[in-house]
Structure 1
Amino acid sequence: MKKHLFPIFVTAMLIVIAPLATAQEKIYSIWLRVFRNDTVILEGFSIEEGLQTHFPTTQTGYYLEVVSYENEVLFRANVGISFSIHILTTEIPSNITEFELDEILINLRLPFFENAKEINLYHGNKKIFSIQLSNYICNNNGLCEKEKGETPINCPNDCLTTTTTTLPPAKPTLPFHYFAIIFVFIAAILFFLLTRIKVQRSESPS
């Protein structure tokens, strides 16, 4: 009976941590229409709970930055933008047709920062797009709506403070589900060792 406790325990722990492993965080979700001539149009902006975009690790010629009010780069990432698409024909599997586009629509999901001022998109050394976050976050209704991303830094009119203390730049925190996973594995190992010790003691002659 005891031999079956360990897999049951591990299965139960996996069921518990499965939702944590996909835990979402507050992000900026930005839809951009990017043209070949470096024109960029903002199609949508929102702050929501979700997962970040998996950005390329190699240089693509395009990159973005999230910048604070102190001009500190809070986040930087390469952006995969390509105006070429390849289509594989069904008649001839080895025949690949390439098409060139004049524009593409992309969705960027970036980590949220309380002290972020703007998000900039670059093509090489040229800034081709910039969004001032306060223009899309603050509604100037006298209410500090934190769930919408308003903070004393980016929306001082809505989030009035009684002190002039300068808040340190906010940094993305390590998602707590990483710690939960580590804890579960340590607990599983300890449980396994204790079970083995008990089994050995019960099987040893008295």
Structure 2
Amino acid sequence: MNEPQPRSGDDPRTARPLLAAAGIEKAYRHGTWPARRTTPVLRGVDLTLAPAEVVGIVGENGSGKSTLMKILVGALAADAGTVTHTGRLGYCPQEPVVYERLTCDEHFELFGHAYAMTSEAERRSRRAIYAALGFERYAGTRADQLSGGTLAKLNLGLALLADPEVLLLDEPYAGFDFDTYLRFWDLVAERRTAGRSVLIISHFVTDQERFDRIVELREGRAVHR
């Protein structure tokens, strides 16, 4: 796995950002000419994510949270602005992207191959994820037979598999029970300790003390609370 970025004795929050977005703009176009309408969603969003930092993004429905996340991971092109990052990104989308006929084990094997992980590293990471999130008994279960909560665990686990420097999570704990919710925050704390960074999108934040910063998307711009 990759080595943490900060050196011993460094203050990670003064280190070079692991992810930086500058001037991100995005608008959606509806209808056909000459009645085509343009709806601006992001109007110049600036955002940085430092090593060992946990940042939350909140905002009302339609504020552009998921649009921003897709731009950060490269799944959607911005109309303007730049995104730069250091190291590997891990992405947990709001809606799980899985293959119905594959088991949990087969998903990890497939994603491990895509990440160019060795078989040994993939199996070691997979075992740790099963233990951390408590769903090893479903290792041989197909995705289309999983409950919503277990599917959410698999979705998160696939994002964690390659130990990314930057973890981007879109409503990651929406389907979790309280025990899994606490396990999730233990994982986040471990990543912070290791110098990794986590960006979490949520409709609302209840445990603000778990975040280093909260950023609100308001009228297409990022406003720090």
TM-score by length of 2: 0.21
Whichever structure has more helix as a proportion of its residues is: 2
Whichever structure has more strand as a proportion of its residues is: 1
Which structure's relative contact order is higher, taking Cα pairs within 8 Å and 6+ residues apart? 2
TM-score by length of 1: 0.22
